Structure 1
Amino acid sequence: MKIALPTKENNTIDSHFGHCEFFTVFTLNGKKEIIHEEKVASPVGCGCKSNIAGTLAELGVKVMLAGNMGDGAIRVLAASGIEVIRGCMGDVRAIADKWISGDLRDSGIGCIAHGHECGH
């Protein structure tokens, strides 16, 4: 199983999914232990209108741990079989570990105030 996190250069969650520098993708084994980490380039432009959902799905990503994103992006990811957990902040490895331990829940708060169509 793989999980993805929108990431800034300092290996922290980027609070805006559609504008992150890259995605950190962790591969988990059957015991939910991280066995591999890779970086996936972020497409140019808005995340929900790019091909990133399909790209991540092709890699086997099943969960996106994100800071914030709009309903459009959530729908696009869901259509590719990727579950979204919003409200994540901090170091990507620490967030992944928190999700693995079952201590991470979706904030339920969407992104709607950025002046573009992704959140609508």
Structure 2
Amino acid sequence: MYSICGFPKSKFRKNSKKSLNLKLTNKLHKINKGEEKMKVCIPTTENGGIDDFVGQHFGRVPTYTIVDLDTNEVAVIPNTGEHMGGAGLPPEFISKTGTHVMLCSGLGPRAVHLFEEAGIDVFVGAQGTVRDVIEAWRQGRLMEATDENACKEHRLH
């Protein structure tokens, strides 16, 4: 098993609803040409940051930690979504950060579709710290989110 620019090669699916291979290839092309940087976002339990833990309930975490894998810059944004008493949905404001990939423990089907519409790839099964989650994703230990593995009990988990 190997990865390309952090994309777990073993998790590429053929014939998916949206061709994941083509989408990731186009993204890699832009990244390699310097047009874009690779950013991942992880829902976090407290103040955010590389040593914070991934939150178990995506829509109700207090923060989202965004890591630029090219520069190692870390940004933390507060959850201003409707579950936290604010307006809007997390996929809406996360997409404005330039995030390419969402890494989380679980996610409802509605959120998965909203991220797909925003061009953000979602991987589930994350646990541990942000640092642990990024390493697990790079090693191909997280699964691409699908309707089959989405959390059915929550609209926007």
Bin of the TM-score, shorter chain as denominator length = 0.7 to 0.9
Please report how far the alpha carbon of residue 41 of structure 1 lies from its aligned counterpart in structure 2 after TM superposition: 0.8
Distance 1:85 1:8, change over 3 A: same
Q: Does 1:23 align with 2:64?
A: yes
Regions of 4+ moved over 6 Å: none
Give the TM-score, by structure 2 length. Answer: 0.62
Query: 2:106 aligns to what?
Result: 68
> Quick check: 1:16–1:68 contact (8 Å CA) kept in 2?
yes
Q: Which amino acid aligns with 2:64?
A: F
| Residue correspondence of structure 1 range 22-101 to structure 2 within 5 A | 22-29=63-70, 35-46=72-83, 50-101=88-139
Query: 1:113 aligns to what?
Result: 153
Q: Partners of 1:118 and 1:13 in 2: how far apart?
A: 16
Q: Which amino acid aligns with 2:149?
A: I
Q: Which ranges of structure 2 fall in alignment gaps of 5 or more residues? A: 1-37
Task: Quote the RMSD (CA, aligned, Å).
Answer: 2.3
Please report how far the alpha carbon of residue 69 of structure 1 lies from its aligned counterpart in structure 2 after TM superposition: 1.0
Give the TM-score, by structure 1 length. Answer: 0.79
Please report how far the alpha carbon of residue 52 of structure 1 lies from its aligned counterpart in structure 2 after TM superposition: 2.5
Identity of aligned residues (%): 26
Query: 1:2 aligns to what?
Result: 39
Q: Partners of 2:64 and 2:56 in 1: how far apart?
A: 12
Between structure 1 and structure 2, the one with the greater Rg is: 2
Give the secondary structure class of the aligned counterpart of 1:59.
coil
Please report how far the alpha carbon of residue 57 of structure 1 lies from its aligned counterpart in structure 2 after TM superposition: 1.9
Equivalent pairs, count: 112
Q: Which amino acid aligns with 1:9?
A: E
Q: Partners of 1:118 and 1:52 in 2: how far apart?
A: 9
Please report how far the alpha carbon of residue 89 of structure 1 lies from its aligned counterpart in structure 2 after TM superposition: 1.0
Q: Which amino acid aligns with 2:151?
A: C
Q: Partners of 1:28 and 1:14 in 2: how far apart?
A: 20
Q: Which ranges of structure 1 fall in alignment gaps of 5 or more residues? A: none
Q: Partners of 2:97 and 2:81 in 1: how far apart?
A: 19
